[in-house]
Amino acid sequence: MTDTIEQPNLIRWYYEGLKQGIYRAMKCNTCQGLTFPPTGCCEHCGNWAVEGMELSGDATLLYATHNLSPACHPRFDKIAPYVYGHLQLREGPIVQAIILGVEPTPKALHDLFNRGPVPAKAETIQMEDLTILGFRIKP
């Protein structure tokens, strides 16, 4: 699915999608590159001719660590400590997100590291004031 989104509504479009469990990016009409999270122009070539698209939510966890204390923003205090990672989306972009289902302990992170890159699936996390993106490791 592609959408043409006016610049002022782009952030709202992204977060409304998250509330519905829809993960959205921008696809460039010139170089076909994907920009995630979505912005008004292509992060690869700078072109403004971009269209909204839905992502699968499938990813590969490349690296994970625990958060530092205190949390990076007060909205995360209630879920800290947590695991944070770098993931490559099936569609290509690399993102950073909270990793669900992994304890923020040295042993759990060591075990995860030893498994190597692992598949993950996007999920939304409802904070008090905002729906955010997270990923859960697939068994």
Task: Express each pLDDT in 32-78 by its tens digit.
Answer: 999 999 999 999 999 999 999 999 999 999 999 987 666 677 788 88
Maximum pairwise Cα distance, the chain = 46
pLDDT bin (cut points 50, 70, 90) of residue 1 is: very low
**Token pair belonging to 6:** 């006016």
Q: Which residues pair with 28 in a beta bridge?
A: 50
d(CA 84, CA 117) in angstroms, rounded, equals 14
AA letter at 120:
A
**Beta strand spans in 16-137 (E):** 23-28, 34-35, 50-55, 58-66, 83-89, 94-100, 118-126, 131-137
Count of all residues that appear for the chain in the document: 139
pLDDT value at residue 76: 80
Comparing 3-12, 85-94, 101-110, the range with the smallest average pLDDT is 3-12
pLDDT value at residue 3: 54
pLDDT tens-digit profile of 99-130?
999 999 999 999 999 998 999 999 999 998 88
CB 61 within 8 A of CB 113: no
